[in-house]
Structure 1
Amino acid sequence: TEAREWPEAGDRPRRAGISSFGVSGTNAHVVLEHLPAGDAEAVEGPAVADGPVVWPVSARSPEALRAQAARLAAFVAGKPELRPVDVGWSLATTRAALDCRAVLVGRGREDFLDQLRGLSPSGAPGGARPAGRTVVV
């Protein structure tokens, strides 16, 4: 309920376990480890991806998804300075996950532009989410 000192643990890293026991049997546990001061690096944004990057796109309907893809393609085409990893980060962290979805995977700007332009009325990758409930175990 209040801050307190976290004493040094000799030559071992400091670790703490935090448990939460929720209503109707929901339990969670996390282990935290102290990061030594010399190991911290300043991060100003998403890391540069060495491999494939994911761009999630979603909308309320297939028509809206195609329109969203067209707007995103026009935006990205007009801004050559955008890095694919930055766009993917923004799409994943600032946009709602709506019912109709497409997930684009690519390594470069042209990969994504081609895929965005390829979302057609005949069928987008992804599509409407099936009815039902999601369960994560």
Structure 2
Amino acid sequence: MSSFGISGTNAHVILEQPEPVTEPETGGDGLAALAPGIVPWVLSGRTEEALRAQAARLLAQVEGHPGLRPVDLALSLATQRSLFDHRAVVLTDDRETAVRGLAAVCVGEPDPAVVLGAVEPGRTAFLFSGQGSQRLGMGRGLYERFPVFAEAFDAVCAGLDAHLERSLREVVWGDDASVLDGTAYAQAGLFAVEVALFRLVESWGVRPEFV
């Protein structure tokens, strides 16, 4: 390869084939080398009958293909199928356990290797982060941009200031991190910011059942 610069300099680079790289030994092929002894087979259906029907189809597949590896089937079931409300998990480490568990799901009977359940409507909860995530200036940009955030932040600060030696807003938006890192101000500051964040998200259309 040649390269001619503006000054007319002629440079040559000779490229050679690199030395072959030997792949490290993995102790097995693919997922089998990484798989634990017990793997979960996850099944689901819109109804109990649909769940049992899926278990029956899977049972027929397992019985008809004795060479199937449990870990491969577990991966396919967990990543390539939709999840519906009625669910079952067959915990298996060998063919006998898998067949027995699937047969139990087919007829709705209990089995030590099977976990059955259904998704039920629940209430929404919000978890606020604890001490350790505080930082100076947190929430200030949102406060200046969103009135809903500002109103909620002001309300919390007003309620907490009566129990603190210094203004919570002044500490949170101040320049002394050591004061904010104190438990009283860290916990109070995070609570104020997170309540304001929740009210902001709520104003965008989120209507949780539990606050």
TM-score interval for Structure 1 and Structure 2 normalised by the shorter chain? 0.5 to 0.7
2:32 and 2:124 mapped to 1: Cα distance?
30
For the 8 Å contact 1:62–1:127, the answer to whether it is kept is no
1:133 and 1:38 mapped to 2: Cα distance?
54
More strand by share: 1
What does residue 83 of structure 2 align with? 97
What does residue 69 of structure 1 align with? 55
Which structure 1 segments of 5+ residues have no match? 1-36
Q: Deviations over 1:74-130 (max 9, x none)?
A: 011000110001100100010111110001111112211110001124578322211
Which structure 2 segments of 5+ residues have no match? 1-20, 128-211
What does residue 66 of structure 2 align with? 80
SS in 2 for 1:46: helix
Task: Tell me how far 1:51 sits from its aligned partner.
Answer: 1.4
| TM-score, length-scaled by structure 1 | 0.61
SS in 2 for 1:80: coil
SS in 1 for 2:74: helix
Sort the Cα spacing of 1:94 and 1:135 in 2 relative to 1 into closer, same or farther, 3 A.
farther
What does residue 132 of structure 1 align with? 122
| TM-score, length-scaled by structure 2 | 0.41
User: Higher relative contact order at CA 8 Å, sep ≥6: structure 1 or structure 2?
Assistant: 1
Q: One-letter code of the match for 1:89?
A: L
CA RMSD of aligned residues (A): 3.1
More helix by share: 2
- Give the aligned length: 101
